[in-house]
Amino acid sequence: MSTLLAAPARITAEPDGRGGTALPLLAGAGPIALRRTRGEGGAAHVVVIGSMAAPLGGDRLAVRAEVLPGAALLVTSAAATISLPGPGPAYYEVDLTVGEGARLDWLPEPVVAAAGSHLVLHTRITLAPGARLRYREEQVLGRRHDWARLRDPGRLTSRLTVRRAGRLLLDQQTDLGPGAPGWDGPAVLGGNRAAGQLLTVGTGPQPAAPPTAGTALLALPGGGATLLAAVAPDALALRRALDAG
């Protein structure tokens, strides 16, 4: 049965006045549970945990995170997010806001599209002047046993919109998997089954060149912002490519 959420999972991070970061709001919703764990360097660390199988086709899930000026937040996940088939696409929205002088490291595990599923993702990121960001996104088409049984993978339709100081920094959309035009051709995945990117804004020195084959490094407008994109045959090779950047 579909999970229709009236409210998203929410995270708010703010300075605690002692050189660290407090979490005045940490609220899960539906199948999304949030747990605070030990942070480092003054940053709070939140782990996203799937408390039940989700997203299923027809689900609508959402996460909102706000990092107030001067705070620092690291968000990871306990496991991959697996999109499962159901009556129609599932929808997952992520809204991230980073205040002036704040930092957000958004580093979840991959999203995996199981055979027969269709997940529509939309991530919106709003950065104040002086905000710092490290955002990793990894998408994998099909589980290992899907390919072993020669089953088509699921489909992932993803949009990433980033604004900095009120101006558009990045707006891109990808559509991968059966039903998406040319998704497995040489101009898109080229026979690979995993794609991802690492967006960095204001985090210090940037790499000068793509570190490995199958990657591309883009300098974004305004300075101090880069996008490292990669394709790979599997999730492990994709993580290695992004980590090298």
Q: Is residue 207 part of a domain?
A: no
| Res 188: pLDDT | 85
| Res 207: pLDDT | 56
Structural domain of 15: 9-190
Q: Is residue 3 part of a domain?
A: no
Into how many domains does the chain fold?
A: 1
Q: Is residue 229 part of a domain?
A: no
Q: Return the percentage of the chain with pLDDT > 90, whole number.
A: 67
d(CA 59, CA 88): 9
Q: Is residue 137 part of a domain?
A: yes
| Dihedral angle sign, alpha carbons of residues 222, 69, 40, 34 | negative
Q: Is residue 39 part of a domain?
A: yes
Going by C-alpha positions, the residue among 157, 93, 80, 169 that lies closest to residue 133 is 169
Q: Is residue 144 part of a domain?
A: yes
Q: Is residue 40 part of a domain?
A: yes
Burial of 201 (C-beta count, 10 Å sphere; 0-12/13-18/19+): buried
Higher per-residue confidence, 175 vs 2: 175
Higher per-residue confidence, 5 vs 91: 91
User: Across-strand partners of 79?
Assistant: none
| Res 148: pLDDT | 53
| Dihedral angle sign, alpha carbons of residues 126, 189, 119, 74 | negative
pLDDT in tens, 112-151: 999 999 999 999 999 999 999 999 999 999 877 665 555 6
Q: Is the pLDDT of residue 3 over 60?
A: no
Q: Is residue 202 part of a domain?
A: no
pLDDT in tens, 70-110: 999 999 999 999 999 988 899 999 999 999 999 999 999 99
Q: Is the pLDDT of residue 211 over 70?
A: no
Q: Return the percentage of the chain with pLDDT > 70, whole number.
A: 91
Looking at every residue in the chain, the average pLDDT score rounds to 89
| Res 106: pLDDT | 98
